A and B are shown apart, each in its own frame.
Chain A
Amino acid sequence: MSDSKHNAQPELPGKAQTNPARRAFIAAAGVGVAGLGFTAIAPGLHLMAVGEANAATGIATRKPGEAASRAVRWGLLVDINKCAPGCTKCVEACHTENGVTEKLADPRQASQWIRKVELTDRRNGKKTELPMMCQHCANPPCVDVCPTGASMKRADGIVLVDRHSCIGCRYCMMACPYKARSLVHLPLTEQNPLVPRGQGCVESCTLCVHRIDRGQQPACVEQCPEGAMTFGDLNDPSSEISKRIAATHTTQVRSDLRLDVGVRYQGI
């Protein structure tokens, strides 16, 4: 699924514009298939009509320009009993998907949208690992402190940074209890067109919002070889994530802060 997206990306801004005949053909084809409930926006990439669910994931798609739904609260459940020691597939998947590929001499200046954290219980020395990323709080401190409103929570619970109005003050980084945000410390090139990033702006996990809107799961969830991560609608009692949260003990990290996070952990 992600392969098809990557094949499609270069077509979006560049090649389609340089070949008007091909562009017209694609538009005509789009009109033709729209009646069937599909619109082709590039070879291999389709947007389905509003309200339809992705056949593979069951996640409803969202038409461009359509507002996100308040009825939905996207969330993640991470079963750390399944999270394999030393495995960083989720980190690699995230950074590949979102174009976070720059290498910096000082790793502390590099962006990390998701990281593997190793925990050692001080009482018994038991070691566990888990992926840590933006927890997509219902009451996000980053949104509260942002002077321009660039840090925002979408109606469906995804916490994002508007790259057009972020001024790079880093107040959100000071406010985040999870160290989930990074500043882009250098000029960037060859970005993923679907995931704009830029020097001087703050960024963090978007839950792969561009994939969710297409009815796909976040890249980390899809690429986890152990199936340790479950993505879904926390507001839907019939979703798998809701059922599992109802059936097992799960943890909200820093629950003392009452942030009502969208990412839950099982096994801490």
Chain B
Amino acid sequence: MILTQNARLESGLFYLLAGLGSLVIAIGIGTALYMEHSGHIVTGMNNQTVWGLPHVFAIFLIVAASGVLNVASIGSVFGKKIYKARAPLSGLLALGMLAGGLTVIMLDLGRADRIIVAATHFNPTSVFGWNVILYPGFFAIVGIYLWTLMERRMNEYSHIAGLAAFIWRLLLTTGTGSIFGFLVARQGYGSALLAPLFIILSFAWGLAVFFVVQAAICVWNNRSLQENIFSRMRNLLGIFVAATLFFTAILHLTNAYFAKNVGFESFLLFNSEFSAMFWVGQVLLGSLLPIYLIYSPAGNKRGWITIASLLIIFGAFCQLYVFIIGGQAYPLDIFPGYDVTSSFADGAINHYTPSVPEFFLSIGGIGIAFTVTVVGVRLLRVMPRQEALEKLEEDDSDGAA
């Protein structure tokens, strides 16, 4: 009787969550149609700030998608069985988040109806062009990888499929960072450091997302995360967040060292609407506080690590907003040594305010990632069974010994 009630409750919760996710997706798609009909005039984006909030959300989803796959990679590539038990969930999340991010990017195009043109016209010198190959390739490889994990007859190929997925995800994040790394025009971009920075960002953001989803699923299933896997993943999260701080610091220090970029760095870090977002949002709340929570006694409690993970995700949005919007807000230095004015905002700081349609389109991507995960978790056996986990924990401990 109790079992039936639990099943009914669980089923109701599933339909509630799936319905909620579908509603958010519907809002996003409806907004995309509105933008398609009206043009980008209904957004806050303009000819000065050409990429806006949808790009912040989309790039978060894409970068975190590649990072969330790391949990699977640690299992399949580096042989940690206790991680491998979580590989299906990791792969499912990766697919869902990439689907969400790509949908937002595609629906924000000025001519979203021409997406087939992007698929059939290839420019080998374009980083976007590379990504047109890297993103669908990620879907295919992670799909095959999931198949090798979940189909018993294919299990023997899971190591090689996992290795391919790991290499591909590194290429994918390199491609995402290089979208900005290959831009020669603007002071905030154009650095080879952006590719490795984005890779380490993906490690931290992806693991933070995994922690939050894993905690939610544990609550959903009325289960608790084992101490062994919890402490390992928590320590890993701390190292990744510290590494993102290190790379971010090097990026800004290098940029500030060059006289031509001093004005930009001064603007971004100390003298603009982005400064508080950088120091408070990205550095303090998004990095230092999570590191404190992870390594302080509070870090032994599951709840605090979930909060730390949520803070890391919040910091990720702050970081991308500062990076993408802030990088466009500072005027192009077309005439060094001159003060410049024009009817096209030359020499002027560009102020950007996201519009409601942009926000709706952006959260539509989150809705896709959320719904794919909820449906996937329900339909597929992506979470390991308790007894299997206990055995794997013993195996890993033996291996370590």
Contacts and interface: CB of A to CB of B under 8 A. Distances in A.
Interface of A: 104, 106-112, 115-123, 132, 141, 143-150, 165-171, 173-179, 181-187, 199-202, 253-254, 257, 268
Interface residues of B, number: 49
Contacts of B179: 171
Interface in B321-340: 328, 332, 334-335, 337-340
Given A141-B185, A178-B334, A200-B40, A111 B126 contact: no
Given A165-B117, A169-B109, A149 B342 contact: no
Interface stretch (B47-55, B63-71, B140-148, B373-381): B47-55
B75 interface: no
A184 B337 CA distance: 32
Interface stretch (B4-12, B83-91, B127-135, B207-215): B127-135
B400 interface: no
Given A117-B346, A200-B39, A146 B126 contact: yes
A109 B338 contact: no
A104 B111 contact: no
Contacts of A171: 126, 128, 179
Given A109-B46, A115-B343, 7 more contacts: A119-B338, A146-B126, A148-B117, A148-B122, A177-B332, A186-B38, A186-B41
A144 B126 contact: yes
B248 interface: no
A145 B47 contact: no
A220 B328 CA distance: 29
Contact of A147 (B110, B123, B337): B123
Nearest to B337: A122
Contact of A115 (B46, B182, B189, B342): B342
A116 B343 contact: yes
Contacts of B185: 141, 174-177
A134 to B, nearest CB: 13
B50 A167 contact: no
Contacts of B239: none
Contacts of B46: 106, 108-109, 185
B183 interface: yes
Contact of B51 (A104, A148, A174, A185): A174
B39 A186 contact: yes
B216 interface: no
6 contacts: A115-B344, A148-B121, A165-B114, A166-B111, A174-B189, A179-B334
Given A200-B111, A202-B110, A109 B41 contact: yes
A169 B110 contact: yes
Contacts of A112: 47, 343-344
A253 B47 CA distance: 21
B251 to A, nearest CB: 18
For B50, B115, B343, B345, the residue with the greatest tally of chain A CB atoms inside 10 Å of its CB is B50
Interface of B: 38-41, 46-48, 50-51, 109-112, 114-115, 117-118, 121-123, 125-129, 131-132, 179, 182-186, 189, 328, 332, 334-335, 337-346, 350
B110 A104 contact: no
B126 A177 contact: no
Contacts of B48: 108, 179
A166 B122 CA distance: 12
B346 A115 contact: yes
A206 B370 CA distance: 45
A177 B260 CA distance: 14
Contact of B128 (A107, A141, A147, A202): A147
A167 B110 contact: yes
Nearest to B332: A179
A145 B40 contact: no
A123 B337 contact: yes
B184 A111 contact: no
A129 B52 CA distance: 31
Given A165-B114, A184-B110, A144 B125 contact: yes
A13 to B, nearest CB: 23
Contacts of A120: 338-340
Given A165-B117, A171-B128, A119 B123 contact: no
Contact of B41 (A148, A179, A185, A268): A185
Given A119-B338, A165-B121, A179-B332, A200 B110 contact: yes
B332 A183 contact: no
A138 B123 CA distance: 17
A174 B339 contact: no
Contact of A187 (B39, B189, B339, B346): B39
B111 A167 contact: yes
B41 A174 contact: no
Contact of A149 (B50, B121, B183): B121
B38 A173 contact: no
Contacts of A165: 114, 117, 121
A132 B344 CA distance: 10
A178 B335 CA distance: 10
B39 A145 contact: no
B129 A147 contact: yes
A119 B50 contact: no
B189 to A, nearest CB: 8
Nearest to A152: B123
Contact of A168 (B109, B123, B328, B334): B109
Given A115-B344, A200-B111, A109 B47 contact: yes
For A122, A148, A184, the residue with the greatest tally of chain B CB atoms inside 10 Å of its CB is A148
Given A166-B111, A177-B332, A184 B39 contact: yes
A81 to B, nearest CB: 16
Contacts of B184: 141, 175, 177, 257
Contact of A183 (B47, B127, B343): B47
A254 B112 CA distance: 33
A179 B128 contact: no
